[in-house]
Amino acid sequence: MPQAARAGFVIGWRSFGQGPRRGLAIHCSLAHSGSWSGLARELAEVMTITAFDLPGHGQSGAWEGRGEIQAVSTAIAADFLDGPADILGHSFGATVALRLAVERPDLVRSLILYEPVFFAVAFADRPAMRAEHAATMADYAAGMASGDMRRAAEGFTAVWGDGRAWAMMPEAARRKMAAQMPLIVAADPALIEDAGGMLASGALTRIAAPALLMEGARSPAIIAAINAGLAARLPDARRAVIAGAGHMGPITHPGRVAAAVRGFLGSV
């Protein structure tokens, strides 16, 4: 797996497929570039995908708080590109893809987004959702407040995981996720308070690239609110609901997600 400096950070990455379309894939928090392998296999004849590890994930260097993490991740994504590409993003990675489209529209041919966790959009459109979301994340928040990272990770994955019970996960995976909880906190300014100014500035309405906004049929209600808000703002957006899937749909249901992606690419 290659590693090199990208935007001043040591970053690892993988390549998948041999299709004619060039893609860049940005994974969700607590995952790594390998999480795209199932979806990439399904799209191998359509796309050649580069997937990189975000700071603090996979084979990339540790996150040391140098800057705002969404802005840093956006700069890293841009450093992988020398021309327009289809940008795939999942969860936090999908918000990075949006910010790339705002800051470097010359590099974005299309946006393929699975559940961008841009909570600020839902809070702006439906203010009551802020309290609802806080209640949903109460176990995670209690763990963070007490310094119990295992409790925080258990609470986080109960909402945003793949449906497996915490006790059923390998101990090594539980330890790793607990150690990564500060990465979740680091993303809060961008996801909750719009640190990048994408919402407050109206920049979303100026994204010209066509966008596919996907969500799982079994995902938290706030995801549908976010995607509805994004669809109302993005000039060329369409939505898809993936039957049977939750937040980790690209990993748990790659065939169904790939079918939606193929349909979208065929229309743009």
Average pLDDT rounded to a whole number, residues 43-62: 97
Residue identified by tokens 């169904």 is 256
Q: Is the pLDDT of residue 119 over 90?
A: yes
Q: Is the pLDDT of residue 139 over 90?
A: yes
What is the chain's mean pLDDT, rounded?
Answer: 97
Percent of the chain exceeding pLDDT 70 equals: 100
The strand pair at 9-16 and 3-6 is best described as antiparallel
Domains and CATH numbers, the chain: 3-125+186-267 (3.40.50.1820), 128-185 (no CATH)
Beta-strand ranges (E) seen in the chain are 3-6, 9-16, 21-26, 47-52, 85-90, 108-114, 211-216, 237-242
Q: Is the pLDDT of residue 1 over 90?
A: no
